[in-house]
């Protein structure tokens, strides 16, 4: 597989595609980050609950991992409040297993960041925890929730990730993903598109691995439509769409 760098995420038009930009080597040379492991990048996708990274970013995760990059799926909570009739402990156990199954499909490493579903917090201590996590991981690219979202946990997750990005000196690129657009993510105008056609089956399997979350609804009824709609905007069959922070250190254009 050819290398994909964060420069490969950006195209002159303002659109980008991990898949279709493979081979734009000029971008990768310009990244300025030549790791000893052959330009291998670390990508962290931080979501509030198991199924958020996969539904908002799973195709892009699969493309990065297939290209030999390190992908981390970071879950702020274990989805403790997400299964009716189950205790928090039991739901966390079930949803952790589902997340691990999804990560295996996407060839990603799971990290659980220790907050509780439905009770996520922003405090000085919580900011410090997430800051320490990103400092330790030292990523090249981070994807997280767009902050305008009807789910409080998604908003909190976004702000915690954004705060770490600021605190660590904006040294990696930050992108926002969308989940359940219209219902949860709102006012989302993408700047960056990724053609996920080549990995659509893999993404689907990762989302369907969240069997406790009614994936026929959140994936087939909602995210599948979003993938097709974003594909129409990008002139491909299926796409994921992101908002790129315009102060990212490595992007060519805003
Ligand atoms: Zn969620």
* Centre of ligand 1 from the C-alpha of residue 146, in Å: 12
H or E element at residue 211: none
pLDDT surpassing 60 at residue 10: no
218 pLDDT band, cuts 50/70/90, is: very high
Determine contact, residues 74/52, Cβ cutoff 8 Å.
Answer: no
* Centre of ligand 1 from the C-alpha of residue 31, in Å: 32
Determine contact, residues 188/240, Cβ cutoff 8 Å.
Answer: no
Determine contact, residues 143/176, Cβ cutoff 8 Å.
Answer: yes
Chain segment 23-81, per-residue pLDDT in tens: 222 223 334 544 445 689 999 999 999 999 999 999 999 999 999 999 999 999 999 99
pLDDT surpassing 80 at residue 201: yes
pTM: 0.88
Kindly list the distances between the CA atom of residue 229 and the CA atoms of 112, 216, 235, in Å, as whole numbers in the listed order.
Answer: 31, 18, 10
* Centre of ligand 1 from the C-alpha of residue 35, in Å: 33
Residue 2 confidence (pLDDT): 47
Chain segment 83-123, per-residue pLDDT in tens: 999 999 999 999 999 999 999 999 999 999 999 999 999 99
| Block residue for tokens 């993903």 | 177
- What CA–CA distance (Å, rounded) separates 181 from 204? 17
Kindly list the distances between the CA atom of residue 190 and the CA atoms of 10, 14, 27, 227, 238, in Å, as whole numbers in the listed order.
Answer: 13, 10, 21, 13, 15
* Centre of ligand 1 from the C-alpha of residue 110, in Å: 16
Going along the chain from its start, the domains and CATH numbers come out as 34-244 (3.40.50.10320)
* Centre of ligand 1 from the C-alpha of residue 120, in Å: 12
């Amino acid at each position: 597989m050819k290398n994909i760098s964060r420069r490969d995420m950006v195209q002159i038009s303002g659109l980008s595609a991990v898949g279709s930009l493979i081979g734009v080597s000029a971008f990768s040379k310009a990244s300025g980050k030549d790791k000893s492991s052959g330009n291998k990048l670390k990508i962290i996708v931080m979501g509030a609950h198991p199924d958020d990274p996969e539904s908002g970013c799973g195709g892009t995760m699969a493309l990065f991992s297939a290209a030999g990059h390190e992908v981390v799926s970071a879950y702020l909570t274990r989805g403790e409040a997400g299964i009716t009739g189950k205790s928090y402990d039991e739901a966390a156990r079930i949803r952790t297993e589902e997340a691990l199954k999804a990560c295996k499909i996407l060839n990603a490493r799971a990290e659980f960041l220790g907050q509780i579903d439905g009770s996520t917090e922003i405090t000085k201590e919580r900011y410090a925890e997430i800051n320490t996590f990103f400092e330790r991981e030292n990523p090249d690219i981070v994807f997280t929730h767009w902050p305008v979202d009807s789910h409080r946990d998604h908003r909190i997750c976004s702000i915690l990730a954004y705060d770490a990005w600021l605190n660590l000196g904006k040294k990696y690129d930050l992108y926002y993903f969308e989940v359940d657009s219209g219902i949860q993510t709102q006012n989302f105008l993408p700047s960056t598109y990724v053609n996920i056609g080549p990995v659509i089956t893999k993404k689907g399997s990762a989302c369907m691995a969240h069997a406790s979350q009614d994936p026929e609804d959140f994936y087939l009824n909602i995210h599948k439509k979003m993938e097709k709609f974003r594909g129409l905007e990008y002139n491909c069959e299926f796409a994921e769409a992101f908002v790129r922070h315009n102060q990212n250190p490595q992007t060519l254009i805003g």
